[in-house]
Amino acid sequence: MKRYTADTVEPDEIVQELLHGKGAVLLSGLFTSEQITEARDIIMRESEAQDKVTHFQGKALEEGHANLQRRVWNLLAKGAVFSDMAAHPVFMTILRKFLGTEFIMGSIAANRILPNGPGQEPHVDYPYWDFHTPETHPHGLNGSFPMNAQISILLDPFTEESGATAYVPGSQKELRYPVEADNFYDKCERMLGQPGDVALFYGVAWHCAMPNKSDHDRSAILINYLPKWVKPLEDMPAALPDDFIATASPDIKQLLGLNYPYPEILDQAAATNAAGRV
């Protein structure tokens, strides 16, 4: 992966690399070690209660099994550090070029994989994540213009052993799910890095978390960004307190989709009726 720092970042080159190159780049030096420690502490605390799996594939388990892969959703509600990360000026500059100046955020969550935790199936990300049924998407849809950007902010060392994200460079050039014959595991490279490093990639590239065979946790903050008109995955405005929204910065308001109000009731009579029902 090409590597950049805040001083060497080249937004136009990165846009080309995401679309026509490997599909992923590494950014370093954007966050302080205090920010990374604070974010990690919150995620460890928030995910502690998920220590047992009680259901598997829809069925209740008699006894809870150790849960070695944990998600923490709705991170903006869990600490100001996450707003600072989501709207980092370097991300905003690159993503305004990649997804359009009014792009939004689809989700901000943590993925914590404990030692011995499982990997994932190779996949593509939202809004393409159910592209194993391409007929549910528009005819001819392809990845030639981006409707997704993914950011992973590493909170632990991402090594081969700890299960650093695997991806197939260039696979974003053809929008489809990988199949057995693609030999994902033979062709993949890893998004290796240290705490504070950031993997920025186009989620059409085939990728997955790998099993954690190390003796330490492997956590990352995963942020999904979208063009302004794609329905986000998390309903963040509904999940956040009113005072968070009222005092949010202009960039966070944009990321929450508040600048692009559709769908709206445009029929005045119906709008009056709807207001009366509240």
Ligand X SMILES: O=C(O)CCC(=O)C(=O)O
To which H or E segment does residue 235 belong?
none
Q: Which is nearer to ligand X, 206 or 248 (CB)?
A: 206
Q: Which of 90, 148, 207, 230 binds ligand X (CB under 6 A)?
A: 207
| Closest separation in Å from C-beta 208 to ligand X | 6
Angle at 269 between CA 268 and CA 271, to 5 degrees: 65
Work out how close the CB of 240 gets to ligand X at its nearest, in angstroms, rounded to a whole number: 22
Whichever of 83 and 165 has its CB closer to ligand X, that residue is: 165
User: Looking at 44-52, 86-94, 100-108, 206-214, which segment touches ligand X (CB under 6 A)?
Assistant: 206-214
- Least separation in angstroms between residue 209's CB and ligand X is 3
**Do the beta carbons of residue 115 and residue 78 sit within 8 Å?**
no
d(CA 107, CA 76): 10
Q: Count residues contacting ligand X (CB under 6 A)? A: 9
Distance, CA of 273 to CA of 257 (rounded, Å): 25
Work out which of 75, 86, 99, 220 binds ligand X, going by CB under 6 A. 220
Rounded distance between C-alpha atoms, residue 242 and residue 246, angstroms: 6
Q: Least Å distance between CB 112 and ligand X?
A: 9
Q: Closer CB to ligand X, residue 209 or residue 248?
A: 209
Is 125 a binding residue for ligand X by CB under 6 A? The answer is yes
Contact between 111 and ligand X by CB under 6 A: the answer reads: yes
Cβ contacts of 194 within 8 Å, gap of 6 or more: 154, 157, 158
Provide the pairing of β-strand 24-28 with 2-5: parallel
Q: Taking a C-beta distance cutoff of 8 angstroms, is the pair 39, 80 a contact?
A: no
Residue 100: count of CB within 10 angstroms of its CB: 15
- Binders in 129-168 for ligand X, by CB under 6 A: 165
Segment near ligand X (CB under 6 A); pick from 58-66, 100-108, 202-210, 239-247? 202-210
276: its two tokens:
């009366």
Residue 219 is a binding residue for ligand X (CB under 6 A): no
51 with 227: CB under 8 angstroms?
no
Q: Considering beta carbons, is residue 83 or 224 the nearer one to ligand X?
A: 224
Site string for ligand X, 55-94 (x = CB under 6 A): ----------------------------------------
The answer to whether the beta carbons of residues 111 and 219 sit under 8 Å apart is: yes
Task: Please give the residue ranges that form the binding site for ligand X (CB under 6 A).
Answer: 111, 120, 125, 165, 207-209, 220, 222
